[in-house]
Amino acid sequence: MSAGITITGGNFEQEVLQSPIPVLIDFWASWCGPCKMISPFIDQLAGEYEGKIKMGKVNVDEEGALAQQHGIASVPTLVLYKGGDIVAQKNGSASKRDIEAIFTGFIES
């Protein structure tokens, strides 16, 4: 099973903006309880939708500039990029089904 990839300021453009498939980014922090709850869902969905969507994770404590650049004010925040543009966003905790609902309309079946 695939896991979400680590997104940093150094690989954001290549992994997200230039990605040929949609990318769901989980902006999280190690001290965040709800972040820990949704992390396994992100990893599961990465495996289930491998090749259709890319799942990425940004640790806001390690990548504060990247989080600030994208207007992340709270964690967890899930942001969906397609074609380099933000097409959906969800703040706060979510079930696996809720996370899946964010991107299913933006992927090819």
Structural domain boundaries in the chain: 5-61+68-92
Q: Is 32 a catalytic residue?
A: yes
pLDDT at 4: 79
Q: Which of 7, 16, 24, 35 is catalytic?
A: 35
Q: Is 107 a catalytic residue?
A: no
Q: What percent of the chain has pLDDT over 90?
A: 94
pLDDT in tens, 24-72: 999 999 999 999 999 999 999 999 999 999 999 999 999 999 999 999 9
Compute how many other C-beta atoms are within 10 angstroms of the C-beta atom of residue 94: 20
5-61+68-92 CATH pick, 2.40.110.10, 1.10.287.10, 1.10.10.10, 3.40.30.10: 3.40.30.10
- Is 45 exposed, middle or buried (CB count within 10 Å of its CB: 0-12, 13-18, 19+)? buried
Is 2 a residue whose pLDDT tops 90?
Answer: no
SS3 104: helix
Q: How far apart are CA 57 and CA 59, in angstroms?
A: 7
Rounded to an integer, the average pLDDT of 86-99 is 96
Q: How far apart are CA 94 and CA 12, in angstroms?
A: 24
pLDDT at 27: 97
